[in-house]
Amino acid sequence: MPKTQLITVSKVPLRNEIELAARCLKEGGLVGMPTETVYGLAANAYIPDSIRRVFEVKGRPQDNPLIVHLANCEQLPDVVSQVPEIFDTLYRAFCPGPLTMIMMRSAKIPAEISAGLDTVAVRFPDCAPAVMLIELSGVPVVAPSGNLSGKPSPTLASHMLGDLEGKIDYILDYGATEIGVESTVLDITGEIPVILRPGAITAEMIYQKTGIKVSDYTVPEVEGAAEFVPRSPGMKYRHYAPSAQVQIARGADSRERALAMAEMYKSISSEGRTMAVFASAETVGLLTQAVVTDEGRELSTYTYPGASEPARATHDLFAALRYLDNKKVDIIVVEELHGDGASAYMNRLERAAAPR
Ligand code: TXA
Ligand code: MG
């Protein structure tokens, strides 16, 4: 395949910036598509060969199904065979946005997309170039995160280029993604909806906005929900892992976490290994007061301004893991955060830090 073409897209996307990629996608090509969560690897959902190539270029396990992205509800009857009653309420409350809903798959959707399951995941991205790409291509679009399987999801076009250059046709460069972690995956096929993958939309937000009680797959809350829990195949794979080992600095506040990091720094340095840190500027400031870095060892850091804040940390997590991994350190230490707003961040972080 010829070189991957990077196309810079304006804040308000122009038709001529998207058109070539849309035609290519429609005809079977693969396109890097920005969304509000992470960049996706987009392909025509109706072309089984393209779907197979998506799995191939990512190195994705065959049993991990893909999400179908739609521009609006008009395309829904082509994709699902049944629309559960609560769909409308959830759609009005959260779509377009970072909520993926699992429903029963229509016969028009190739089985390859769902890895053999009789369900299909559907989402309506809230990102202008993605919507335009889907509209202009005129087909439902599958898009897994645009990383090599097992690597952190791309939040910049350059991440995708680094992973997939020469293997895909286009990447639409729309700058940094707004949210930074993948969508919430909610199974709405059962009596009680179940969150299969935490994202920016939390169980609490769903309840607050719609009154719908959903069960959190990671923290079961609804009585008796367990027997309805279908597993999201993607969650069994180790994910989001850079080459360096990831460790979590735990603590109730910035001070405690900075002290934990200082201890980690001491022991890691004494073993002759190198460490990098991703945390807020406040936490890293406290850390640098607590450690003596005069042994000629540099401490690589990736910070965001101010105090530790879940939305900022979530936005930067994958970019930080990739950036610090490029520094070739042995260990990347990341600070723990607390609260409902930190659930997707902690989920991805725990998985990145899971033993190999
Ligand atoms: O934010 C996102 O969702 C991004 C952007 C590009 O839209 N996409 C994304 O796709 O994260 P991917 O393929 O990396 O993750 C899809 C997740 C996996 O955990 C997969 O197992 C789950 O959704 N999934 C897809 N179809 C499913 C189904 N029918 N039943 C259960 N889980 C499903
Ligand atoms: Mg992924």
Q: Which residues surround ligand 2, an ion (CB under 5 A)?
A: 145
Q: Which strand (E) or helix (H) includes residue 31?
A: strand 31-33
User: pLDDT confidence of 218, banded at 50, 70, 90?
Assistant: low
What is the per-residue pLDDT for 199?
96
Which pair of structure tokens corresponds to residue 195? Answer: 């969150």
DSSP-assigned letter for residue 183: P
> Is any atom of ligand 1 closer than 6 Å to the C-beta of 144?
yes
Q: Which ligand is nearest to the CA of 149?
A: 2
Torsion of CA 289, 271, 152, 238, to 10 degrees: -130
Measured at the CA of 133, the angle between CA 37 and CA 209, to 5 degrees, comes to 40
pLDDT for residue 356 = 74
Atom of ligand 1 nearest to the CA of 233: 21
* Mean pLDDT over each residue of the chain, to the nearest integer: 92
Ligand 1 pocket test, pick from 94, 114, 182, 240 with the greatest ligand atom count within 8 Å of Cβ, gives 182
* pLDDT of amino acid 117: 94
Q: Higher pLDDT residue, 225 or 74?
A: 74
What distance in angstroms lies between residue 182's CA and the mean position of ligand 1's atoms?
A: 8
Rounded CA separation 41/151 (Å): 14
pLDDT interval class at 221 (50, 70, 90): very low
Average the pLDDT over 25-46 and give the result. Answer: 98
Looking at the CA of 217, which ligand is closest? 1
With a 6 Å cutoff on the Cβ, whether 6 touches ligand 1 is no
Q: Is the dihedral of CA 314, 319, 322, 325 positive or negative?
A: negative
Q: Give the pLDDT band (50/70/90) at residue 242.
A: confident
Q: What's the CA angle centered on 35, arms 33 and 41, to 5 degrees?
A: 35
**pLDDT tens, 97-119?**
999 999 999 999 999 999 989 99
**CA 197 / ligand 1 centre spacing (Å):** 8
Using one digit for the tens of pLDDT, what is the confidence trace for 39-89?
999 999 999 999 999 999 999 999 999 999 999 999 999 999 999 999 999
Residue of minimum CA distance from atom 18 in ligand 1: 234
Per-residue confidence (pLDDT) for residue 294, from 0 to 100: 54
Per-residue pLDDT at 223: 42
CA atoms within 13 A on the CB side of 304: 16
List helix spans (H) across the chain: 15-26, 48-58, 76-79, 86-94, 128-137, 157-164, 203-210, 254-270, 281-290, 310-326, 343-352
What is the C-alpha to C-alpha distance for residues 8 and 157, in angstroms, rounded to an integer?
10
Separation between Cα atoms, residue 313 and residue 304, nearest integer Å:
8
pLDDT at 176: 98
Is any atom of ligand 1 closer than 6 Å to the C-beta of 126?
A: no
pLDDT at 196 over 90: yes
pLDDT at 195 over 90: yes
Q: What is the mean pLDDT of residues 116-140?
A: 97
Residue 220 has pLDDT above 70, yes or no: no
The pLDDT value recorded for residue 219 is 43
- Whether ligand 1 lies within 6 angstroms of the CB of 96 is answered as no
Distances 340 to 201, 304, 319, 343 between C-alpha atoms, Å? 10, 20, 22, 6
**Mean pLDDT for the stretch of residues 194-208:** 96
Give per-residue pLDDT as tens, 280-329: 999 999 999 888 765 556 789 999 999 999 999 999 999 999 999 999 99
pLDDT score at 222 = 39
Asked if residue 228 has pLDDT above 80, the reply is: no
pLDDT at 227: 42
The pTM is what? 0.94
